[in-house]
Amino acid sequence: MSNKASHQVIFMPSGRRGRVEEGESLLDAAQQMGVEIESICGGKLKCGKCKIRIEDGEFQKHKITSSADHVTPPSKEEVELLKKMGEHDYRLSCHAFVQNDALVYVPEEARAHKQVIRKSANERVIEIDPAIRQVYVEVEKAELGKHHGDWGRLQDALKKEWNLDNLSIDLPALQNLQANIRKGKWAVTVTLWHKEVIDVQPGYKEGIFGLAVDVGSTTVAAYLCDLRSGKILASESTMNPQVIYGEDLMSRVSYATSNIDGLEKMHAAIIKTINQLAKKAARQVDLRARNIHEAVFVGNTTMTHILLGIDPVELGSAPFALANRDSYDLKARDLGLKFHPSANVHVLASQAGHVGADNVGALLAETPYEQKQVTLLVDIGTNAEIVLGNQDWMFSASSPTGPAFEGAQITFGMRAAPGAIERVRIDPETLVGKFSVIGEEKWSDDWQTDADASLDQQPAHLASGICGSGIIEAVAEMFLHNIILASGRFNPDLTHELIQWEDGKGAYVLASAQQSATGNPILVTQDDVRNIQLGKAALYAGAKLLMSHAEVQSVDRILLAGAFGSFIDTKYAMILGLIPNCDLDQVVAVGNAAGDGARIALLNKDKRVEAQRIAHWVKYIETAIDPKFQDEFVTAIHIPHAVDIFPQLKNILPEKSAPKSNKADPKIRRRKVQKT
């Protein structure tokens, strides 16, 4: 027992209180009471993170008027550091020692484990607790007669100042250890990944960064994050370079199996691309890729297999066996990734052969497994991953939608990039389509494409092609205006200048030659309509299959994830019958939920464990062998389906009408004349 006097200390805003021995620092007192105050330098007056304010006011029934009474006055060094920080009202809790009862306010920026908010269907609050941490230590000087070695001395310091033990050190860190300790004059900033020292920088350094990467079959997106604040510092995305080896997953699997260096080429391509994205993202904020100390990867199973250099052949046929379903940690350098030489990579767990880490990431971002409502989460890529469930049960499936929703296998398809047609409306009277393209706010009927039009009247981009959301709206509008029938076939009874026929197949002219970047009109063909029908039927059948397994008739909420899900007009998705019946205001686009999940796992290591637990818990339904899926699929090919089942659509949509005139808009005709 100590004979020292003790005093009452209360920390605000948490309100935690306790008795503290006289002379103890407020930082130590806070730690004992479980009040987390951030500190990197551990009381060395380097970081200034642990700032607090001593409050006056009513306290234990005494009115305390002078704050100087509560704690020891600041030293010259503390005053200097606070001055440099521009903080005159604050003290540093590591150097404020208790000498009386005290009421202490901990400002938000000093509270360790800050929070980041994800703006989405659910507002998510994520505790920042990455696998990486950074600490500052002063190391005992080497001297004759002490044979401990620099690594031994560093371990002693980490044990003494941060209570860290059983540590290991990665080779590159060990290789530079002696030089950096001496450069820092026996003071270093140590970066740890779990129990492994991965970097030792000379002196006091601040800033740890991580990269969350979503490896999609079509698009690869990377988010550079500050692992202390949780903020996204830079985002970069690009086309997955593997598309040249096959547009959909199955053609990539077959490329890997039918070419001796197929896997090697696709692996090298994705690694190169990730290196480029990392470099670009880092450059945006004056960093280098080697400042990235950790990365979290998500992707569908084929993508994560190829990323890790694993032949995806087994995913190409039943029983679709994964090499590994669990999360996996490895050194970035073992993949040829040019992050920090000791950086680690965490690949999120997968669920089954065709529901991968990207879907698990989306679950982590949206947490339907914590909610009472029945949620249908749909991530539409080349395959659609579908999850249905709530806090009590959860089913998942993968549906082979094909790449049509991503603009592939569409005659004039393209990915969502500037110039892509993303919105479409068809005039019920004239059947002339108007549209908007990415990168240009004005709808096409406001464009001036004449050579003599002023520059600001001309569109920033002419139409280059049709992206996923554009083709959905085009097909839905074509159906609403009787250009195509419920069967998906072009209306044979309709003769119109904008409808061209070849070999018995119709095609609709959506953009004229003048509106097109290539100078050729952009058409929606019979084959395009077919591909959309096949895709939407697969998606719908998958959802219905899960509903049948779960024995539910309807869902409370539908979340559309992925780039496609973000841009699609949910109303049109319902017209076409992509998704089952649901209140339209409960259908929400949630953006790149997979990427958000990767980011969450990057910022909080416990979320990785949660992700794996959920991945194992969700019950996966194999669509490929379920006869119900085939039945649902065949039924779902037709279009009217949607309008018939969802009567509420009738109030929203324009009435279905036959065009009153089949003559083309004179403006279009004029342009055609100009062209010829």
Minimum gap (Å) between residue 321 Cβ and a copy of itself: 4
What b/e sequence results for 428-452 when a residue is b if at least 16 CB atoms lie within 10 Å of its CB, and e otherwise? Answer: bebbbbbbbbbebeeebeebebeee
Q: How far apart are CA 28 and CA 31, in angstroms?
A: 5
Minimum gap (Å) between residue 194 Cβ and a copy of itself: 13
Minimum gap (Å) between residue 547 Cβ and a copy of itself: 20
Minimum gap (Å) between residue 563 Cβ and a copy of itself: 27
Q: How far apart are CA 295 and CA 595, in angstroms?
A: 12
Sheet holding 168-169, edge to edge: 132-138, 187-193, 196-202, 168-169
Minimum gap (Å) between residue 212 Cβ and a copy of itself: 21
- Give 111 or 182: the residue with its C-beta nearer to a copy of itself: 182
- Helices (DSSP H) in 551-665: which residue ranges? 562-567, 570-576, 593-603, 605-617, 627-635, 641-645, 649-652
The interaxial angle of helices 249-258 and 262-284, nearest 10 deg, is: 130
- Give 264 or 556: the residue with its C-beta nearer to a copy of itself: 264
**Among 407, 414, 410, 430, residue whose Cα is nearest residue 499:** 430
Q: How far apart are CA 504 and CA 492, in angstroms?
A: 9
Q: How far apart are CA 293 and CA 295, in angstroms?
A: 7
Minimum gap (Å) between residue 582 Cβ and a copy of itself: 28
- Give 20 or 177: the residue with its C-beta nearer to a copy of itself: 177
Minimum gap (Å) between residue 372 Cβ and a copy of itself: 27
**Among 78, 11, 14, residue whose Cα is nearest residue 45:** 78
- Give 369 or 567: the residue with its C-beta nearer to a copy of itself: 369
Minimum gap (Å) between residue 218 Cβ and a copy of itself: 25
- Give 128 or 174: the residue with its C-beta nearer to a copy of itself: 174
Which tokens go with 493?
């009874």
Minimum gap (Å) between residue 525 Cβ and a copy of itself: 37
- Give 146 or 288: the residue with its C-beta nearer to a copy of itself: 146
Minimum gap (Å) between residue 172 Cβ and a copy of itself: 9
Q: Tokens 């009452």 map to which residue?
A: 8
Please check whether residue 273 is in contact with residue 216, taking contact to mean a CB–CB distance below 8 angstroms. Answer: no
- Give 322 or 438: the residue with its C-beta nearer to a copy of itself: 322
Q: Is the peptide bond before 403 cis (omega within 30 degrees of 0)?
A: no
Minimum gap (Å) between residue 329 Cβ and a copy of itself: 8
Minimum gap (Å) between residue 325 Cβ and a copy of itself: 4
- Give 311 or 527: the residue with its C-beta nearer to a copy of itself: 311
- Give 171 or 609: the residue with its C-beta nearer to a copy of itself: 171
Class of residue 542 by CB neighbours under 10 A (exposed 0-12, middle 13-18, buried 19+): buried
Residues that bind a copy of itself (CB under 8 A): 142-152, 169, 171, 174-175, 177-179, 308-311, 313-314, 318-326, 328, 330, 333-335, 350-353, 620, 622, 624-625
- Give 223 or 620: the residue with its C-beta nearer to a copy of itself: 620
Q: How far apart are CA 558 and CA 579, in angstroms?
A: 8
Could you give the 3-state DSSP secondary structure of residue 225?
A: strand
Q: How far apart are CA 454 and CA 50, in angstroms?
A: 59
- Give 151 or 564: the residue with its C-beta nearer to a copy of itself: 151
Which tokens go with 148?
């401990």
**Among 198, 260, 185, residue whose Cα is nearest residue 227:** 198
Please list the residues that pair with 58 across neighbouring strands.
Answer: 63
Q: Is the peptide bond before 73 cis (omega within 30 degrees of 0)?
A: no
**Among 383, 462, 437, residue whose Cα is nearest residue 623:** 383
Minimum gap (Å) between residue 395 Cβ and a copy of itself: 13
Please check whether residue 121 is in contact with residue 366, taking contact to mean a CB–CB distance below 8 angstroms. Answer: yes
Minimum gap (Å) between residue 333 Cβ and a copy of itself: 8
- Give 59 or 328: the residue with its C-beta nearer to a copy of itself: 328
H/E element holding 479? Answer: helix 468-480
- Give 304 or 533: the residue with its C-beta nearer to a copy of itself: 304
Minimum gap (Å) between residue 150 Cβ and a copy of itself: 5
Cα dist from 411 to 92, 239, 472, 526, whole Å: 65, 19, 14, 10
- Give 322 or 561: the residue with its C-beta nearer to a copy of itself: 322
Cα dist from 256 to 317, 457, 652, whole Å: 14, 49, 48
DSSP secondary structure letter of residue 604: B
Please check whether residue 459 is in contact with residue 440, taking contact to mean a CB–CB distance below 8 angstroms. Answer: yes
- Give 151 or 479: the residue with its C-beta nearer to a copy of itself: 151
